[in-house]
Amino acid sequence: MKLYAIFGNPVAHSISPTIHNYAFMHLRFPGCYTKILVQDGSKLKEKFLELQLQGVNITVPHKEWAYKLADEVFGIAKEVEAVNTWYNKDGKIHAYNTDAPGFYESIKEYEFSNILILGAGGTAKAIALYLKEQGYDPQILNRSEKRLAFFKERGFSCYTWDEFSVQKYDLIINTTSAGLKDNSLPAPQDILLPLMKQAKYAVDVIYNKLTPFLALAKDLGLTYKDGTDMLLYQGVLAFEIFTDFAYEKEYIIKLMKKSLQL
């Protein structure tokens, strides 16, 4: 039996065990996935080795620690310097970031070219860099200056609320935590309204919730979605890593969707 887990703090709300265990069960794969509360990020590796885990997902607030403590980092995670998946490959911790490719999979059905990302935190970094790799040139809008430095250094056009003048974007992505635990919009209404009136799509990375941002999109008749598909696809990509790509991806997607009754 191979053991898997999600490390985080808080972690009780995580639905990752549901999707992974459902897939293990249906594939008759000898795996079991659980939740483990980890308070101190510097102890991630110790826990991983002590419990002899085959793979883990790492969530808030430990993704930077997961990057620092890995033996080998792959793909976009190297540039983002944040990791959400570890796999024990012959005793070495191989690390990946499946959030950004998961996000991209979740919006593949949309047709867009101009993109605005609201927020400049860890999720925004991963999504912006990954979209750039795919040939897009997303712009960044954040309430404050500090976190924009990362994006400026890498050639993105970025603005604080004060500097911003409204342009036309097809796709607006909310990566801020506005609306997660409160009822706030990710930017002031006088910025957001004209932006959204011209947009086609609004996507929030917060899952299982119609945030005020998405409620506004709905009122304005935009096509919109929350972060549930992103969560699903990051899980699918992690599952492929956990099982050494032994199963057909489309089938894993089907199973995981079923586990969430999507």
User: Considering just the CA atoms, what is the radius of gyration of the chain in Å?
Assistant: 18
Q: Is 177 annotated as a binding residue?
A: no
Q: Which is nearer to ligand NDP, 92 or 154 (CB)?
A: 154
**Binder among 8, 138, 212, 227 for ligand NDP (CB under 6 A):** 227
Stretch binding ligand NDP (CB under 6 A), from 68-76, 88-96, 194-202, 223-231? 223-231
Inter-residue contact 174 to 210 (CB < 8 Å) = no
Nearer to ligand NDP, 4 or 150 (CB): 150
- The catalytic residue among 63, 92, 197, 258 is 63
How many CB atoms within 10 Å of residue 66? 28
Q: Which of 178, 227, 179, 177 is nearest to 202 (CA)?
A: 227
- Smallest gap from Cβ 119 to ligand NDP, in A, equals 4
Coil vs helix vs strand at 87: strand
Q: What's the min distance (Å) between Cβ of 86 and ligand NDP?
A: 16
- Nearest CA among 113, 112, 161 for reference residue 140: 161
**Among 115, 129, 172, 205, contact with ligand NDP (rule: CB under 6 A):** 205
Minimal distance, residue 46 CB to ligand NDP, in Å: 23
Q: Does 6 carry a binding-site annotation?
A: no
Long-range contacts for 74-81 (Cβ within 8 Å, ≥24 apart)?
75/101, 76/100, 76/101, 76/126, 76/129, 76/130, 76/133, 79/129, 80/122, 80/125, 80/126, 80/129
Cα–Cα distance between 112 and 136 in angstroms, integer? 9
Q: Which residue has the tokens 């024990």?
A: 88
Where in 171-200 is the site for ligand NDP (CB under 6 A)?
175-178, 180, 184, 186
Among residues 215, 195, 193, which one has the least CA distance to residue 204? Answer: 215
**Which range binds ligand NDP by CB under 6 A, 2-10, 227-235, 237-245, 248-256?**
227-235
Q: Write out the binding residues for ligand NDP, residues 68-127 only, by CB under 6 A.
A: 99, 119-124
- Told to judge if 63 belongs to the known catalytic residues of this protein, a careful annotator would answer yes
| Separation of alpha carbons 119 and 173, rounded Å | 9
Rule CB under 6 A: choose which of 206, 222, 237, 238 binds ligand NDP.
Answer: 206
Contact residues toward ligand NDP (CB under 6 A) are 60, 99, 119-124, 142-144, 147, 175-178, 180, 184, 186, 205-207, 227, 230-231, 234
Binding residues for NADP(+): 205, 227
